[in-house]
Structure 1
Amino acid sequence: ALGNHDMNYREGGDDTSDRTFKEFFGPTYYSFNRGKAHYVVMDDVRYLGVERTYDGHISEAQLNWLAKDLQHVRKEDLLIINLHIPVHNSIKNKEELYKVLEGFTNVHIMSGHTHYNVNNINNNIFEHNHGAVCGAWWAGQICSDGTPRGYGVYEVDGNDLKWYYKPTGISRAHQISLTVDTLTNQKRLLANVWNWDPKWKIEYELDGKNMGALEQQTGSDPQAVKLNAAGKPAKGRAFTKPTQTDHLFMAHFKPEVKQVKVIATDRFGNKYTQEISA
């Protein structure tokens, strides 16, 4: 899908900003079927006529086209929509898109742009906003929410979709990062489970004893905070500062605990573990 780095600036407005993209890659929105799944690619980056100035918006022409396109798709079929800017928090007319998608029961939106990883569920619409291969703009090995730089892997079987996040250069089994801090009379565990969604189960053990579920938190990943404090990103790239995320999980425990283990079970029953010495 066309992104904000794929546009021509200084050539007018949004209508002309995709000229080079179309010349080399073809249309900016289209659809196709593969097996039972229906795939849609859309352009949700609107150039505002001033260099590097844009917002998230889906044109009326695209929405009208999509409504007609989906007349040929069964409501229960797997529908995968690919675009650049995330819909759930950055598209100004997102409700118009959601209106077109009403009644479809198996919708997945694939987005990027943010350089962090988050899953958002809105009724029957599951949006996967992916971390970036370059992390926080090459400032380190992680994205701004602590997610390792990487990409999503998706497996389609008929109308069923399964997925996982693959960190670059690291095993697929690596799905959790752990930090232990020493506080007054206690220690604190913070687990970052970057591909979490509400159907995951996050538990922990202290010295081999199961302690149940961790408490979900919203905050900044400690490694992302440390990266920024270390002087990265350089050259005034303020947009790579740590971002708030809700895929953090916390517990407090006694100082005498020696070993901590976190077990994360995803919606497909896959178990991932990570241990750290306290």
Structure 2
Amino acid sequence: MAVNRRHFLAQIAWLTGGLLFYRCTPAKDLALSGKTIGGTISASGKGLKDVVVSDGYSVVATDKKGKFEIVLHPDAIALFISTPAGYDFIQEKGIARHYRLVQNIDLSKETNFELTQLTKDDNEHQFVIWADPQVKNAKDVEKMMAESVPSTIKTIATNSDALWHGITVGDIVWDELKLFADYDRAVEKMGIPFFQCLGNHDMDYRKGGDETSDDTFSLTYGPTYYSFNRGQVHYVVLDNVRYLGTERNYDGFVQQNQLDWLQKDLAFVPKDKLVVLCLHIPVHKGTKNNEALYSLLKDRNVHIMSGHTHYNVNAIRDNIYEHNHGTVCGAWWTGPICEDGTPSGYGVYKVKGTELTWHYQATGKPVDYQMKIYSTDFSASEKQVVVNIW
């Protein structure tokens, strides 16, 4: 079926000058499949050595002149760099743009990336994790812009001299993909670079299987798995939402091509670096092949950032600490509370070398709002007290 589909798309693209192909499928420009893509990674006109470049299948590093070559895999949708420590993130109005979509690559030209060196040490930096903004309509967007965005701006302002970035760990929207544009406005207003993970509500339905479910997301935000670096931290984004071909039918699973890519990517990362791995569905509970992922992360200092459950849970397994976050949307924008009683909010993280500290920031609340106490009369002489700590 895949061969027939590609042949059909190729014929349609030829008949329409590529317009339909461009709009519907970012993946798989057949004319570039198997071709060698070359380019240079540079800063201030000087090539940068050992910058990692990938198409999601092969992973290479630039030579001493900053040059790279990579043979494009038939299923590659983008060529992307793993931004090295010490350099600013390539972004457009806050949205990370560390990639070139394959459909936009011109073989007659080099595919170059120009980086800008940071003016401050990035061994200390901060980041926020947004889980499940999950906007469905204009009212949800209005609440996000009026509540979550100002709260995040206020958090960033508490240490305005720091280097900040954000990562949204999926369910950017609630099936209404046209609202990606409103999320982008929120990112622009917050004023820091944001990286995006795919969630189960960010997919295209009714187009086929898992291989087509990411099309709109990829056209908007690029590859669904990639990495980047800041200071002593190696950040990884994965896609563990496997679409099963019928509407809203999915499971938590990291496809083998991603596991293969991750093994190659981590081969360039010294074992003493902190690894922060971001995805949508929790790994400790909800990802069917979590053991395969855990095996690639053994002997490393790893923190996993996830969302999806609308619960706030910390799960520790050996060297791996998973932060399963409460949601930005709370009760799907009907109230400022998650299913476990955690208030709507987001994670705030501070990095110092390879040390990571954090707190959960309830939207619109002071930073020390970390619990809620519930008290009821149990009997004439006793009270029942429940403390919810997040």
Give the TM-score taking structure 1 as reference length: 0.68
Task: Give deviations 1:72-122, integer Å, cap 9, x for gaps.
Answer: 112221100010111100000001000111111x10000001111010001
Task: State the one-letter code of the partner of 1:108.
Answer: H
Please name the residue that 2:338 is paired with. Answer: 143
List 4+ stretches of structure 1 deviating above 2 A. none
Task: State the one-letter code of the partner of 1:122.
Answer: R
Rounded to whole Å, the distance in 2 between the matches of 1:30 and 1:151 is: 22
Rounded to whole Å, the distance in 2 between the matches of 1:7 and 1:140 is: 25
Q: How does 1:127-206 map to 2 (within 5 A)?
A: 127-184=322-379, 185-194=381-390
**Ranges in structure 2 where 5+ consecutive residues have no aligned partner:** 1-196
Please name the residue that 2:223 is paired with. Answer: 27
Rounded to whole Å, the distance in 1 between the matches of 2:256 and 2:224 is: 14
Task: Give deviations 1:38-83, integer Å, cap 9, x for gaps.
Answer: 0000000000000111110000000011111111112221100010
1:56 pairs with 2:252:
yes
Task: State the one-letter code of the partner of 2:329.
Answer: C
Please name the residue that 1:202 is paired with. Answer: none
Between the two proteins, the alignment pairs up a number of residues equal to 193
**Ranges in structure 1 where 5+ consecutive residues have no aligned partner:** 195-278
Please name the residue that 1:118 is paired with. Answer: 313
CA RMSD of aligned residues (A): 0.9
Task: State the one-letter code of the partner of 1:64.
Answer: D
Q: What secondary structure sits across from 1:15 in the alignment?
A: coil
Q: What secondary structure sits across from 2:285 in the alignment?
A: helix
Residue 192 of structure 1 and its aligned partner are, at CA, apart by 0.6
1:43 pairs with 2:239:
yes
Q: What secondary structure sits across from 1:24 in the alignment?
A: helix
Residue 125 of structure 1 and its aligned partner are, at CA, apart by 0.3
| Identical columns (%) | 59
Give the TM-score taking structure 2 as reference length: 0.49
Rounded to whole Å, the distance in 2 between the matches of 1:100 and 1:79 is: 12
Residue 5 of structure 1 and its aligned partner are, at CA, apart by 1.3
Q: How does 1:175-254 map to 2 (within 5 A)?
A: 175-184=370-379, 185-194=381-390
Rounded to whole Å, the distance in 1 between the matches of 2:275 and 2:256 is: 20
Q: What secondary structure sits across from 1:110 in the alignment?
A: strand
Q: What secondary structure sits across from 1:21 in the alignment?
A: helix
Please name the residue that 2:269 is paired with. Answer: 73
1:108 pairs with 2:303:
yes
Residue 139 of structure 1 and its aligned partner are, at CA, apart by 3.0
2:278 counterpart (82, 99, 103):
82
Please name the residue that 1:215 is paired with. Answer: none
